[in-house]
Amino acid sequence: MLPELGHFALILALLLAGLQAFFGIAGPMLGRERWMAAVTPAVAGQFVMVSTAVGCLIASFVGNEFSVVYVAENSNSALPLFYRVTALWGAHEGSLLLWILLLAAWTVAVSIGAARLPRRFGARVLGVLGVVSFGFLLFTLATSNPFLRLDPAAPDGRDLNPILQDPALAVHPPILYTGYVGFAVAFAFACAAMLEGKLDQAWARWTRPWTTTAWGFLTCGIALGSFWAYYELGWGGFWFWDPVENASFMPWLVGTALIHSLAVTDKRGLFKSWTLLLAILAFSLSMLGTFLVRSGVLVSVHSFAADPTRGIFILAFLVLMIGGALALYTWRAPLLKSPAGFELGARESFLLFNNVLLVIAAATVFAGTLAPLISDALKLGTVSVGPPYFNPTFMLSMLPLLALLSVGVHANWKRGRLQDKQRTLLYTLIAGAVLACGVVFGIYSHGRVLTPVGATLAFWIVLASLVDPIDRWRRGLTLPRAVIGMTVAHLGLALAVLALTTVQSFTIEKDVALAPGGSVSTGGYVFRFDGVRPVPGPNYDAVGGTITVTRNGAPLMVLKPEKRHYWVKGTEKTETSIKMHHGANILVALGEDLGAGRWSVRIQIRPLVSFIWLAALIMAIGGAVAASDRRYRTARAAGTVPAGVATGDATT
């Protein structure tokens, strides 16, 4: 009964989303107050219905309802309860349902926040979100119904893909999707502004906290995915430029550009049409990400199933949404004039460079990700594009971005009086370079050319970002949360750059064959293989290895990697064992029985790799702090500042 109830709830949700879209868009257009008043109840109703559907599917998973195809394919009676719940988003259909649930949740949040917005504008925002929701619900019901029954019911399920049976991956999709879907809010604000034909600084102030929050979630989601790939896939890398990783990274890059461009629109009333374009682009890339991952057109660990009808539906939906938004843009954007100008050394120009570089970075990633598809479609041969392409092209736009950041945070709005800051900039740069060389040559005593360059840029950002806040704090001035958040996020970025530089330069990777009692020495550590033993599991058998690591003759740690064999799917899975020492991650994975009593063992030492994920968390925290600034919450009280009037505020 439950699956049918869920299916029915989903159909009702589709109808409500349709109403929400219609009343939200037609109401303001025709000036019908009552229509606009109906939008909020529709939003609430849709959320309740979608939650009901999700609840029904979870109940089916928990209750081992193997008469439901989706449950039978992604769960098993031996699967632990926790993974039976998270199996909900273990494959295509459920992931979409999760997408829809999160969109409904964001919409409810916006409808609560919309109380502070002008009535017509709020209705339009919710209406656009209704259109998005309608499209995804229709897609789910038409091509990917998770409630389909199986007759006769399967005696047991085929089990969740073993690599998805992991705590980090249990939370990765919801957080990542919260970020993806959050850009729908920025998109809806942009479309509403275009429908309205008016975009002022108050608009930017409403949009900013939503966008920054979505960006924070996306940052965390990407980091979690990278963390998962690192320890779970057994290859040990943290970023593979895999199409699915790229799919989440492109909206992140454009989203980062968007939050900076919004700052200019907010503070100075400039970059208006550019901001709109970025908002459209960020959400389009989020949807493209969904398309790339879910249609199975690209080879990846994450693409679950290949079903051409789904791909075509998503493609059509994408074309309609993005095409519609861009058509609206070409029609309305010329109305939005940005009268004020700025000088070359002003903060605006640095933010412009930031935007250009981030968009270039996104474009190069885009080109590399889609090239295999295009080459294949044009019959130019099947190609693959890997790190040798992505690493240098990405760095090409990132290095100037990082250098400009340190200078940019010291620039004033409107006027380019950087001469006053020359000394500060020079001193921080020198101090940064000294610190960087100290770290690179003092601790590691070798390195590539890029190592000291990357480290210098990282330290420079740290020092340059702290100068102003420390100065203000010493003078007893209060720091707005927006400034604190920005500084924290920039410090997070610096940490990420430092960690990435170190990892790329000083990683040690080795595959070795070891017999029990045998040992291998690398990177100052000695790894001794102490043999294997059987390890029982709830839905798998495993062989566990023991590896004792010593340094200078003293025992340091014992690592216990496993090689698991999952019964139901009959698949093998490598369970790595990782421990930290002096900031470096020491990873050991058990390969296979090579015969003659020897086992293959993979050993990797990656310095500071954990700090990459920590850095992402710090950036997200910075975003959260900035989004909570009181300025955004009192937006209505402040009224609408006429477009183009400079506030002359050089604080943020």
Partner 1 sequence: MTPRRRRMALVLGIVAGVAIAGALALSAFRQNVTFFFDPTQVAAGKVPAGERFRLGGMVTQGSLQRAPGSLEVRFVVTDFSHNVPVSYTGVLPDLFREGAGVVAHGRMRTDGTFVADEVLAKHDEKYMPPEVARSLKRRHGESRANATAAPSVPSAPSAPAEAGAPPPHSTPSSAGT
Contact status: 5 vs partner 1 (CB under 8 A):
no
Question: Tokens 């790229």 sit at which residue?
Answer: 246
50-69 footprint of partner 1 as x/- string (CB under 8 A): ----------------x--x
In terms of CB distance, is 69 or 281 closer to partner 1? 69
Q: Which residues 585-604 are close enough to bind partner 1 by CB under 8 A?
A: 589, 591-592, 594-598, 600-602
Q: Which residues 401-460 are close enough to bind partner 1 by CB under 8 A?
A: none
In terms of CB distance, is 33 or 593 closer to partner 1? 593
Report the DSSP beta bridge partners of residue 535. 542
- Nearest distance, CB of residue 513 and partner 1, angstroms: 5
- Nearest distance, CB of residue 74 and partner 1, angstroms: 9
- Nearest distance, CB of residue 308 and partner 1, angstroms: 7
Q: Which residues 277-296 are close enough to bind partner 1 by CB under 8 A?
A: 296
H or E stretch at 592: strand 584-595
Identify the residue among 168, 324, 389, 614 touching partner 1 (CB under 8 A). 389
In terms of CB distance, is 365 or 615 closer to partner 1? 365
- Nearest distance, CB of residue 132 and partner 1, angstroms: 27
Segment lying near partner 1 (by CB under 8 A), choices 7-15, 104-112, 150-158, 607-615: 150-158
- Nearest distance, CB of residue 569 and partner 1, angstroms: 7
**495 token code pair:** 């940490």
Q: How many CB atoms lie within 10 A of CB 637?
A: 7
Contact status: 299 vs partner 1 (CB under 8 A):
yes
Contact status: 338 vs partner 1 (CB under 8 A):
no
Measured in whole angstroms, the distance separating CA 252 from the mean position of its chain's CA atoms is: 6
- Nearest distance, CB of residue 468 and partner 1, angstroms: 25
Contact status: 364 vs partner 1 (CB under 8 A):
yes
Q: How many CB atoms lie within 10 A of CB 237?
A: 18
- Nearest distance, CB of residue 452 and partner 1, angstroms: 22
Q: How many CB atoms lie within 10 A of CB 610?
A: 19
- Nearest distance, CB of residue 226 and partner 1, angstroms: 15
Q: Which residues 257-276 are close enough to bind partner 1 by CB under 8 A?
A: none
Respond yes or no on whether the N-terminal peptide bond of residue 452 is cis (omega within 30° of 0).
Answer: no
- Nearest distance, CB of residue 311 and partner 1, angstroms: 11
Yes or no: say if 106 and 100 are a contact pair by the CB < 8 Å rule.
no
Question: Tokens 């709020």 sit at which residue?
Answer: 122
Contact status: 161 vs partner 1 (CB under 8 A):
yes
Residues near 477 by beta carbon (within 8 Å), at least 6 away in sequence: none
- Nearest distance, CB of residue 601 and partner 1, angstroms: 8
Identify the three-state secondary structure at position 258.
helix
In terms of CB distance, is 553 or 570 closer to partner 1? 570
Q: Which residues 484-543 are close enough to bind partner 1 by CB under 8 A?
A: 511-513, 515
Contact status: 344 vs partner 1 (CB under 8 A):
yes
Cα–Cα distance between 642 and 652 in angstroms, integer?
19
Yes or no: say if 354 and 408 are a contact pair by the CB < 8 Å rule.
yes
224-253 footprint of partner 1 as x/- string (CB under 8 A): ---------xxx------------------
- Nearest distance, CB of residue 633 and partner 1, angstroms: 35
| φ, ψ dihedrals at 405, nearest 5° | -60, -50
Q: Which residues 70-129 are close enough to bind partner 1 by CB under 8 A?
A: 72-73, 76
- Nearest distance, CB of residue 267 and partner 1, angstroms: 19
Angle at the Cα of 506 from the Cα atoms of 505 and 511, rounded to 5 degrees: 120
The count of residues interacting with partner 1 (CB under 8 A) is 77
In angstroms and rounded to an integer, the radius of gyration of the C-alpha atoms of the chain is 26
In terms of CB distance, is 56 or 589 closer to partner 1? 589
**15 token code pair:** 């109808």
Of the candidates 419, 414, 504, the one whose C-alpha atom is nearest the C-alpha of residue 458 is 504
Contact status: 6 vs partner 1 (CB under 8 A):
no
In terms of CB distance, is 541 or 592 closer to partner 1? 592
Instruction: Provide the sign of the torsion angle of the four alpha carbons 25, 31, 35, 36, taken in this order.
Output: positive
Give the relative orientation of helices 201-232 and 167-196 as an angle to the nearest 10 degrees. 160
In terms of CB distance, is 471 or 511 closer to partner 1? 511
DSSP summary character for residue 149:
B
Q: How far apart are the two ends of the chain, measured CA to CA in Å?
A: 56
Q: Which residues 567-586 are close enough to bind partner 1 by CB under 8 A?
A: 567-574
| φ, ψ dihedrals at 585, nearest 5° | -95, 125
Identify the three-state secondary structure at position 269.
coil
Exposure pattern of 280-293 as b/e (b: 16+ CB <10 Å)?
bbbbbbbbbbbbbb
